[in-house]
Structure 1
C-alpha cells in the first residue's frame, strides 16, 4: 500500500467526484501543496496532499475540468486530514452508502474532518453534524437543515471550527479555511500566502 512521501507528514486526502466544484478541491490542494514545500518542518515536509475518488477513473469536474484521483477512497493511505468538497455531484454522494459509512469510520480516527461548500451536505447525510457548529454555501442552508436537523448552522461565516470538524462556505472560502488549518496545525501561513499571493480573509472562528 502506498504511504505518505514522508513518514511524519500529515496525509491530506481530498475527495473528488463527477461535478465537483473545481476550486473547492483545487484551492485547498494548492494550500497544502504549497505548505508542504514552503514550510519544511525538518526532517520532513508537514503535508502530503492527494486526491481520492469513488474509483481511480478520471473525474469530470464542473465545466468539463478532468482530473484523475490518485487512490480509491476505501483503498487509500489513511488520512490525517480528510476534506470533502462541494458541487452538484454531492447530490449523488448522499445516496452512496459505502462512502457515507467510510466517512463515519474516518471521522472517528482522523485529526481533522473538513468540508468546503456543499460538502457539508455529505457530512450531514453521514450523521456527523449533530450538535456541531457548521457552515456551507449560502444557498444550501435549507438543504443542510433537512439532512442534519441536529446541526447548528452558522450563516454568514466564511469558515467554522468545531473541535476536529472544520467547514467552510462556498468555493473560495475553502482556501481561507485551509490556510487557517495550516496555521492551527503548523503555526505559520505567511510563506504560503506570499507564494500564493493570496489576500487571506480570516472571517472564520477557528480557535487561535
Structure 2
C-alpha cells in the first residue's frame, strides 16, 4: 500500500444518504480543549500505534516533537517516554518500504497517557479494541492524517468533531456520518480526543499537545530546537485552503472522490449523466461507480 492509497478510506457504498446529516453536524462547534496535567514526576508515556502502511511522517513528526521537549522539573531528560505498539511483534512495513520493529505489542505495552495514531491500514479488531480500552485512561488520543479513519473505527469519534487529510474528506464524511468533519482544520480538539489533517499537520498537533501540558513557551522552544517555522500549531483552522471543495474543469480536472489532480489524457474515466469524470486511481473509480450521485 502506497501513501496515496492511504489517503483513501474504505468504499463508501450505501452511505450517500448520510451526507446531509454529516454536513449539518459539521457546522456545530466542538468543546474547547482544556490544559493537560503532566505527572508529578517522570516522563509522560506516549504510545504510537502502527501497522503495515503506517505513513512515516505521521508518526516520525510527532515523535521528534515529543522527544525534543525539555520542560522544567523533568528528572529523566526528556519529558515524554516514547514507544511503538503493534498487534504482533513482527516488523511492520511503513510507507516507502521502511521496516519498523515495534517496541511492544498490545499484549505487553505500558499504559499510555498519550496515544498517536498515524495513517495506516489497521483493521485488526484486537488492535482497535486496545486503542478503545487504552483511550479510557489516556489524557489524549490523537490521530494524524487518515489515522482518523482508524480512530473512527473504534467508535470513539461518534458524535464528536474531527478532521483528516483533505483528499479523504468526501469518503470520510460518507463512511462516518456520525462524526462532525471539519474541513479546513489544521487540527481539531474535543475533550480527550484530537485529530490532525494530513502529514505535516501532525507536527503542529504534537506541538499543541506540548503546549497543553507545559505551556506555550516550552512548545515554542521545542519548535525552535527543531528549526520548525510552521505556525499551524497556533491556529487550528490554518488549513482553510482545503475548506472548500475543489472544482473540476476541462483544463484542470480533479478526481471527484479524493480531489487530487488527474491527467485527462491517461486517467481512468466514467460517464455519468452525460458528463465524463476522471480518476486518479482505480479504487477511486470503483468508489464513484458504486454511488456516483454522492460525488456530483
**TM-score band (shorter)?**
0.7 to 0.9
One of 177, 181, 189 as aligned partner of 2:209: 181
Cross-structure match for 1:101: 129
Say yes or no: does 1:64 pair with 2:94. Answer: no
SS of the residue 1:8 aligns to: coil
CA–CA distance in structure 2, aligned partners of residues 104 and 189 of structure 1 = 28
Q: When the two structures are superposed, what TM-score results if normalisation uses the length of structure 2?
A: 0.62
Equivalent pairs counted in the alignment come to: 193
SS of the residue 1:139 aligns to: helix
SS of the residue 2:143 aligns to: strand
CA–CA distance in structure 2, aligned partners of residues 68 and 191 of structure 1 = 31
SS of the residue 1:161 aligns to: strand
Which runs of no fewer than 5 residues in structure 1 stay unpaired? 1-5
Cross-structure match for 1:46: 79
CA–CA distance in structure 2, aligned partners of residues 10 and 143 of structure 1 = 35
One of 4, 22, 30 as aligned partner of 2:56: 22
Q: When the two structures are superposed, what TM-score results if normalisation uses the length of structure 1?
A: 0.87
CA–CA distance in structure 1, aligned partners of residues 230 and 187 of structure 2 = 12
CA–CA distance in structure 2, aligned partners of residues 75 and 147 of structure 1 = 32
Say yes or no: does 1:150 pair with 2:182. Answer: no
SS of the residue 1:105 aligns to: helix
Say yes or no: does 1:199 pair with 2:226. Answer: no
Say yes or no: does 1:131 pair with 2:131. Answer: no
Cross-structure match for 1:3: none
The structure-2 alpha-carbon separation of the partners of 1:99 and 1:194, relative to structure 1 and needing over 3 Å to count, comes to same
The structure-2 alpha-carbon separation of the partners of 1:84 and 1:42, relative to structure 1 and needing over 3 Å to count, comes to closer
Which runs of no fewer than 5 residues in structure 2 stay unpaired? 1-39, 238-296
SS of the residue 1:12 aligns to: strand
1:127 CA drift (Å)? 0.9
Say yes or no: does 1:85 pair with 2:113. Answer: no
